[in-house]
Structures are given as C-alpha cells and as structure tokens.
Structure 1
C-alpha cells in the first residue's frame, strides 16, 4: 500500500507500542507484513467457525465437502498447525502438501492417507500425524437421553476419527519402521529425514460450543467429553475453537 506522510504519521501515532517494539527489536518490514497476514487469516478462521453463510460459500467454491474447506485453509496456513498443536514446533515436510500418503520409504506411493503429515523442528526431526475433521462434527452422540445418568456417549464421528488416526500411525510404523527418508518427485533422496518412534498424533474435530446453552455450560455433557479425551493420549483431541484460541495467542505475542 502506498501512503502519504500524513497517513504514515497517523499510523505511527495509533500504533506507538508496535513502532517502539519494532525499533527496539529490529523488526523488519517483512516481519510486520507476515504479522498482518496472520491477523487477516485469523479473521478468516473466525468467520469459518462462526459464519455459516461464509463457510458454505467457501465450500461451494471448492465444490467439495466440509473437510475440504478446512484442509484448504490449513494448507495455506501451516503455521497454525505448527505452533497450535503442541509446544514443540511442527511443520510440513519440505515442499510437500499437508495431506500425504504414508507407505514404505516414499510418501508418494499408495498407502494410508494422513490429512496432515508433520515433522517436529529441531536438530533431529520426528514425524507427527493429524486428522482434520470439521467444526460441525458432533463430539457426543446426538440422543435425547444419556447412556447412564449424567454419562453421555461420544459420537460415532469422534470414535471413527480416533480409530482412523491410530490405524494410520500403526500402518506407518509397519511400513516406514523408524526413519522416513524424503524423496523428490523423481524419487531422488533429499537431505530431509524424520524419525518415527511412538509418533505423536492429533485429531482436530468439533467445537466446545456444543456444550453451551443460553443458560450456561451443560456440565454433564462437557465432563463426559473432557474426561474421555483426557484419558486418550494418542491421538490428542483438539477442537477447532481451541485451535483458534492457540493461534490467536501466537499472533498476539509475535512482537
């Protein structure tokens, strides 16, 4: 954007803290642009969560199902998965799409498909797996009465997602064993490797809004879900609204 001196002065006055931090920390123009992009993407994330009409419009553009909308969004914003899933930084494989088939020593051959194949960032990288569902997916079975007093059953979609994730990881361990050596499109080995020792996995599904009413939180339903996921270590279950809040925290503490 081209702005005149008056506009630049007004921006500086209205964002004194940001300008001060930029001068103190040698923040570059690229850093500020990247932060602006992430804030814009957060707004889109929020609209996808809360604006049904907007979400349906995005789905119509892709001419696919609900899951494709999120797959497409996270493909453009891998930074959300990178920091939002865990305190360890996760990233997609170099020059690879998030969604990958995992089989043998090549992720381009036929096999079990992961919605997002990630690696940790460090001197040594480890593989991680993520299944991406939708914010509309029910966390609990939609029935009129609990299974037992104050005990509500998880939904078929959530149970299926967990099984799918566990099967993907299991099949990957059988095929890849302990180390994945990444190849390019011509099957040449690259310098990228990732190790596979009891890999971490995630399922992104549903929204905690399911447990809220005009009178407050339905504690029986929420506790039924929360106690279930607290006792499910792999995959870790994260709702879309929680992932949004984690991403917001990342952007809010970027400078």
Structure 2
C-alpha cells in the first residue's frame, strides 16, 4: 500500500533487546526512522511542541545564566536585539503571552515596523513590535521590548516608596508617544492592500490601541534568599497597575506564560491523543490560540 512503511523484524529485535541502543540503531539506518516519522500524522505535533520547549528553555536560561545571555547578546548585537530576534523567530511567544486576544505580527517574520513619519510604508519613528489581534475584526497593538536586566526600580524616593527606574519611565513615555502619534497620523482604520496596490476587503482598526512594555524581571523585587521585599513589590505593582497605557510585563512573566502554554498543550495532547485547537498553518505562522478547555494562567 502506498505510504506504508515496512519495519523489519531485525529492527524491532534491536530496539526491544536494548532500548538504550535506540541512538545507535538510528545511526545505522536513519532513513527508516525518518520514514516512520513522516508517516505518523501526529509527528508534526511532537516536533513543534519539542521546538517550543527548546525555545522556552533558552529563554529560561537567559533569565538565570548571565554568561549565556551575554554570549547571546554579543552574537545578536545587544541585549534588546537578542530578545527581539528570538521573539521574531517565535511569534507564538508574544501571540499567547500578552493580552487575552491572540496577537500576530503586522509583517510575518519582522516585529519592528515604522509607524510614524511616512507611517508603516516609509521612514519615521519605529516601534519594537507592531502587532494586531486575530479575528474577524482586527485591532492594532504596540510593544516596546527592552531586556530582562533592565532595572525596574530607581532609588527609594521616600521611606518604603521606590520610584520606577529612568529606563522604565522613559520607555513608558516612548510607547505612549508612539501609539498617540501613530493614531493621529494613520487614523482609525488601515485598509489592507495587495502588492499590486488593490484595496482589499480587510483592514485593522486603531481605536485606542493597546500597548505593552516588556522589561526587566521580578527577581529584582526579591531579597538574597529569594523572598519578596514588600515595599519594592508594592511600589512596582501600584505603579504599573495604575498605568492606563502601556501594560508593563516583565520577561519572567512572558517566559512563565510560554512554559505554561507548552505544558498545557502537552497535557491536552496526552489526554486526547491529538493537538489542541490549532492547525498546521497556525503553528507555522505563530498564530496560536492556545489549548482549548484549559484555564488561563494566574497572571
């Protein structure tokens, strides 16, 4: 039968006789293993999920290993560029890790876009990540991406009151200005156009667009033993929760959300023997609605 893969008795005997010899058996005849994988309808799910685990492991390593992050920063051309490059290559991280809606990049494979000046189609002010929600009606969203070593807090302004760092305050104003100027210049609606210039029947709204600042790590708010310092936690949480825009999210929260998504997808796949509510196309593009029937993480 076409598409059938023949596994001979010797291969099975080799595997069952010594399961630890799988690697050597694969090395002896990798084509047979590849054929088995290609004929398995669920193999693409396993490969995609494993890739996401590797990405999440890399992000976690960057948070916890300064030397590893320094090497990645040097290779990418800077700490912010390292994170931006990783997020561009894995749009599902921001897609499922920011708002309650699914976010996709404005242009596939390129988060950074010009939004002020000659707008998205020309020179002008740039935003680290230009996103739009997925669905029948799409809306624009902006994100500024710093790095996890950016300080969240400055000095102790008064006893128990810690001010936001200069970097955080500046980034907040930056993304506020970007969203404001883009809305003023682009209007309420951007109609999609084909490469030929033809107007399409779809577009994106800019009605009080959501904005995000991804910066720092909550580790900064803990003491030497890892416990939270109440004054610092209170100062930071009250600051960001009372901001109208942008929503401030730390890198450790983004990573934790990505890890939760992967584990939830693994649990659903193991329970039902099939992928959660996503398609091959969504895996390739990063348009990931997340596993159906699973509660959102508590942050």
Q: 1:89 to 1:148 in 2, by over 3 A?
A: same
- Distance of 2:110 and 2:198 partners within structure 1: 18
- Mapped contact 1:135–1:205 kept (Cα < 8 A): yes
Query: What do you get for the CA RMSD once the two structures are aligned?
Result: 2.5
Secondary structure of the equivalent of 1:101? strand
1:214 corresponds to which residue? 224
1:89 aligns with 2:99: no
1:110 corresponds to which residue? 123
Once the two structures are superposed, the pairs formed by residues 1-255 of structure 1 within 5 Å of their partners are 5=12, 6=15, 28-62=42-76, 64-95=77-108, 97-103=110-116, 107-141=120-154, 143=155, 146-183=156-193, 189=199, 193-215=203-225, 216-254=227-265, 255=269
- Mapped contact 1:204–1:240 kept (Cα < 8 A): yes
Deviation readout 1:143-170 (Å, 9 max, x if unpaired): 3xx2111111110000001000000000
- Mapped contact 1:136–1:207 kept (Cα < 8 A): yes
TM-score, structure 1 normalization: 0.84
- Distance of 1:37 and 1:129 partners within structure 2: 27
C-alpha displacement at 1:47, in angstroms?
Answer: 1.1
Structure 1 segments of 4+ aligned residues over 3 angstroms from their partners: 103-106, 182-192
C-alpha displacement at 1:182, in angstroms?
Answer: 4.0
TM-score, structure 2 normalization: 0.72
Secondary structure of the equivalent of 2:120? coil
Unmatched runs of 5 consecutive residues or more in structure 2: 1-6, 21-39, 270-299
Higher RCO, Cα 8 Å, sep 6+:
1
- Mapped contact 2:153–2:162 kept (Cα < 8 A): yes
**Structure label with greater radius of gyration:** 2
- Distance of 1:94 and 1:81 partners within structure 2: 14
- Mapped contact 1:48–1:54 kept (Cα < 8 A): yes
1:15 corresponds to which residue? none
C-alpha displacement at 1:91, in angstroms?
Answer: 0.6
Q: 1:190 to 1:116 in 2, by over 3 A?
A: farther
